[in-house]
Amino acid sequence: MNSLRWPQNARCAVVVTVDFNDEHGILTQEPRIAGREKSLSVWRYGAKRGVDRVLDALEEFDVRSSWFVPGRVAQTHAELVKRIDAQEHEIGNSGYRCEDFDTLTLDAQKEAFRAGQAALEQALGRRARGFRSFTGNWAPGFADFLRDEGVTWSSSWRGDDLPYFHLPDTDVVRTTPPLVELPLHYELEDEPYFAYNLSPAVPVGQPRIPSYREVLANWKHDFAAFHRFGLCFVLRLHPEIIGTAGRIDVLRELLADIRARDNVWFATGAEMAAWWQQSVDGNEPGHPVEVYARHRQEAQ
């Protein structure tokens, strides 16, 4: 059992994240949707209805969250992004168009990040401190680049129930703290359960939309386990998915269940990263992120 003591003497930590991608995320996943207005309207629904419902649910339960916004969305929906920011939610960078980093060189990844930062800075007057790679991966050297750009945390990778540090990709001495990763789990996301489009099929082979009751039960069961073991529960949501008229109550009931416990620390990604950097000396011995980083360096 984890012996870590969270702030406010909490038993576990919760970070709610929201990906506000509009149509750009699905176009990265399934380029055939380009020009198909019916299909694109499924993902544009978030800006029309979903964002407001998610914001209302978070306000109802006094939860500050971290939103990832690609630069193009910050330009297209500038007033909506400003409203999210005005309600004291954190805004993070997700590239310029939710680029598939698996297909990009390191230089192209840097350019996508910079374009996203420029758009966010123009909309909000400041640079983002959090980053999420839409596809989760990045090239060696990108974590060091993020640190140099003033980013303190990412929520892109997986592989743990607690935050961890990304090792430097080079031997260059840096004065900034290491990049903190807030790892994700597919079962703590709405998209694997609810993403659905008939033609072209997204995802391929999905037979039906699952029971809301069962998804809520899954999330409550996972939270109970994270609470029992004293872990960091990172929820990943999408306004076009969780923000429908019916599904928003799945989020509301989950937040009510979590709020019913008085020993939970809700934090934004930036707050979590700052606390982790101040309170934790380094990764546990033999952490996979370090093992594979060493293998990669030895192979160079």
User: How far, in Å, CA of 27 to CA of 177, rounded?
Assistant: 35
Q: Does some domain include residue 49?
A: yes
pLDDT in tens, 196-237: 887 777 877 766 789 999 999 999 999 999 999 999 999 999
Q: Does some domain include residue 223?
A: yes
Q: Does some domain include residue 1?
A: no
Structure tokens given for 149? 């750009």
Q: At what angle do helices 106-124 and 78-86 cross, to 10 degrees?
A: 70
Counting the structural domains of the chain, the total is 1
pLDDT in tens, 116-127: 999 999 999 999
Q: Does some domain include residue 8?
A: no
168, 169, 129: which is closest to 149 by C-alpha? 129
Q: Does some domain include residue 6?
A: no
Structure tokens given for 291? 């093992």
Q: Which domain holds residue 264?
A: 13-299
Residue 1 has pLDDT above 50, yes or no: no
Q: Does some domain include residue 3?
A: no
Q: Does some domain include residue 2?
A: no
CATH code for position 294: 3.20.20.370
8 A C-beta contact, residue 8 and residue 26: no
Question: pTM of whole model > 0.75?
Answer: yes
pLDDT in tens, 231-273: 999 999 999 999 999 999 999 999 999 999 989 999 999 999 9
Q: Does some domain include residue 262?
A: yes
Q: Which residues pair with 131 in a beta bridge?
A: 93, 154
